Structures are given as C-alpha cells and as structure tokens.
Amino acid sequence: MRHPATCIVARPRAGRDRSRRVATAFAALTLIALIAGCGTTGARTGPREQGAPSPGFPVTVTNCGMATTYQRPPQRVVTMNQHTTEIMLALGLAGRMVGTAYLDDSVLPEYRDEYRRIPVLAERYPSYEVLLKTAPDFVYGGYSSAFDQQDGRSRQRLRKAGIRTHLNIASCTDGSVGASEVHDEIRTIGEIFDVPDRAQGLIDRMNATLSKARREQGDAQPVSAFVYDSGAKTAYTAGGDGVVDAIVRMSGGHNVFADQREGFVDASWEQVVQRRPEWIVILDYGSTTVEQKKRMLLNKPALADVPAIKHRRFAVLPLSSVVAGVRVPRAVADLSEQLHPGRSR
C-alpha cells in the first residue's frame, strides 16, 4: 500500500452512538478529584474502557505505526491544531470535545457557534498536566509537534495514562498527500467515532466543491507557480509530496519545486530564478504580513527578471487552507480563481 500511515482492521458494521453523558461526566469528575488528591508524585491512570464493547466494535486502527483498539467511540476528545478541530466539527462531533488548542486562523464560520462552547486549553499546545485535567480519552493532533516528547506529550506517555491518540495522516505518511489521503483521514475518524455516513457525506460535499472548481477552470493552461512560505536567506517552499502541491495542481498550476520529494523544502533564490515562475503563491500566517512578504520579494534584486515579479502576479492562501483538512476544496476553488481570473461563474 502506497500510503501505509493509517489503516483500519475490518470490524462488524457499526451501530449508532449510545451516549452516556451523565456517567461520563461523573467518571470525569471523580478522576479529576483523584488527580488533585495524588498531587504531582502519584502515577495517573487515565480513563479506561470497561464492560462489553459498543455494537460494531472493537475496531483497531494503525496510525503512524501505532495500533490502537477502540472498544467504543471516544467520548472526551481534545483536538490540537486547526485542521483536526475542523474535521471533528464538520463531522458533527462537537458534543464529544472537551478541549481544543492551537489555531492558525479563525474557525470556519459555519462551525463557530459550536466551537465557542468548547474550552480552549492553550493558545498553542497545552502541557501534559493541563491535558490530564480535562480527563480525555482521545487526543487528536494535526502535526507531530502536538505529541512532542520533550514537552511531555508523547503518544506513548499518553497511552500509558489510558489516553488514546491519533495523528493526522499528513504528518506520518511516506508518500504524497492529496485529496484521496484527506478523504482517508476523514473516513478513519468516521470509523473511530462510529459516524461513517457523516464522513462519507462530508467527502461527497468536498468532492462537489472540487468538481465545480475544475469545471470552471475549463481548458485553462497550467501556470507555473512558486509557493513562498517564509525565509530571506533561502526560500522555504512547498515540495512535491505535500497537500500544498496537490492544491496548486488541482487549481490549474504547476509547482516549480514539485520535483523535491518533501512536503516543504529550503530552496536557494538562484533556483527560484532558474525556474522562472509565472506566479508566486504566498502562504499567509504568523506575524509577517502578506504585504511584508510581497515587499521583500519585490525588493530582492536577484528576482527582478522572474516573470511573477516583473508582472506582480501574487496569489494568497491562508496556512489554515493548505493542510490535510476540510478546507482543501475551498483552497482549490480560491487559488484557481486567482490563477485563472474571470473563469469562475
């Protein structure tokens, strides 16, 4: 299998959720009281699944080399990073979320009301101790940094505490990541939470948005594009294996660094000049504004003869749109309209 990052072991057909909110809340409060009583020296045992499995369970998922068996769908979830949060919200699972953290952008408008009801544990990543206080039974990370060992949040440590974890497919697959891998991620989360029909419905809606964007491109010829993330001495740019490359390609563009077999790579400015991109796609995030990035590129003498600079052809995408989440089709529609203006109807 070309993308072995996540696979699901066959299981009986899942039934519907049978939520036990009162019992779960009581168990969580009891657990928190025990943690407080033990202090920092006591070993903490997280929520354990007991009793008979839910209908259609157990299900075993192998994710990034770690096999995890679920006796029932998780009930107390913490999401870390924008795309994992929005996948959960898009699947109608806000009621299972007891915490969230680390946004790069505002949550999509259609999910904001539900998002506001979920506690934000930290502006970036919460500490291990803060995670424990929420008594989660599942932590869903978007990037490997969500489970950083030096910060004490390794997947192994969380597992020992009885907390199951899942890492977004883009952070642990060896091959390229495109629309089909994003769909795989959504299907996997749908299986874990016993909402496969919702997952398929979300995928169908995403496919409809992609199809519309492609129809509107018509017979437009692909244009060459250099993706600028950051950097002054070198250019941090998208290689050919990441979601960004797939978005550029589906938008009617050709990533000039698609031959670099990584999601992101450092390139020299000499390489940018040699590849003569017709467009520059700026990724918008962080404290450096889009205008500041444009100014830096326009004022770089070495780039003066690059077609994108000569004709001031810039497109912009927020970082939150170029990760393996629900925004990918919208990013394609947005970038397609920028690269091929006047074709959308």
Q: pLDDT digit of tens for each residue in the chain (345 aa)?
A: 333 445 544 443 333 343 333 344 334 434 433 333 333 333 333 444 556 677 889 999 999 999 999 999 999 999 999 999 999 999 999 999 999 999 989 999 999 999 999 999 999 999 999 999 999 999 999 999 999 999 999 999 999 999 999 999 998 877 789 999 999 999 999 999 999 999 999 999 999 999 999 999 888 899 999 999 999 999 999 999 999 999 999 999 999 999 998 899 999 999 999 999 999 999 999 899 999 999 999 999 999 999 999 999 999 999 999 999 999 999 999 999 999 987 655
Q: Strand 235-238 relative to strand 264-267: parallel, antiparallel, unpaired?
A: antiparallel
CA distances from 241 to 24, 248, 262, 280 (A): 41, 12, 5, 19
In the prediction, which pLDDT does 218 show? Answer: 86
Q: Go through 112-141 and write b for each residue having 16 or more CB atoms within 10 A of its CB, e for each that does not.
A: eebbeebeebeeebbeeeebbbbbbbbbbb
Give the residue extent of every domain in the chain. Answer: 6-203, 218-339
Give pTM, 2 decimals: 0.83
d(CA 53, CA 57) in angstroms, rounded, equals 6
Number of residues assigned to the chain: 345
In the prediction, which pLDDT does 199 show? Answer: 98
d(CA 63, CA 200) in angstroms, rounded, equals 20
In the prediction, which pLDDT does 10 show? Answer: 41
Residue 139: strand pairing partners: 78, 165
Would you identify the CATH topology of the domain 218-339? Rossmann fold (3.40.50)
Indicate the CATH number for domain 6-203: 3.40.50.1980
In the prediction, which pLDDT does 27 show? Answer: 41
Instruction: Identify the residue whose tokens are 């913490």.
Output: 78
d(CA 114, CA 190) in angstroms, rounded, equals 19
337 CB-near residues (< 8 Å, 6+ apart):
216, 343, 344
Prior bond of 341 cis (ω within 30°): no
In the prediction, which pLDDT does 278 show? Answer: 98
Amino acid at 115: Y
Q: Do domains 6-203 and 218-339 have the same CATH topology?
A: yes
Residue 253 near residue 285 (C-beta atoms within 8 A): no
68: enclosing H helix or E strand: strand 66-70
